[in-house]
Amino acid sequence: MLDAPFPLRERVSLAADDRFTAAYPAHFGATVTARIGGEVVSATVADAWGDSENPMAPAAIRAKFAALADHAGVPPATAEALADAALALAGTGQVSSLLALLRSCPLKGPA
């Protein structure tokens, strides 16, 4: 999927917005505007999804991690074990099982 060229990049622009710059670091928001079939649509959020002001549900965090791990070439069972070990840190403070799992992960070079 990501190995293909990125023709969309050539049609995307990025600009700082004084409203968001002034609100940072208390808020980390953005506006996205897209032209779709001649129609212009826009959406704004004051706080990015996943920030403490706009938290992700635990299931969404796991799903995002699973998708990123899959893209990195981590087998699903290993990704699930990694997520469990990372989440266990809050209760146990033990990093040894997490480190062992990380060491067992295959490395995938840049696309």
Note the pLDDT tens digit of each residue in 39-68.
Answer: 999 999 999 999 989 999 999 999 999 999
Of the two residues 108 and 103, the one the predictor is more confident about is 103
**Segment 74-81 mean pLDDT:** 91
CA dist 22 → 14, 18, 59 (Å): 17, 6, 32
Mean pLDDT within 11-37: 91
pLDDT at residue 2, as a whole number: 54
Cα separation, 74 vs 39, in Å, equals: 40
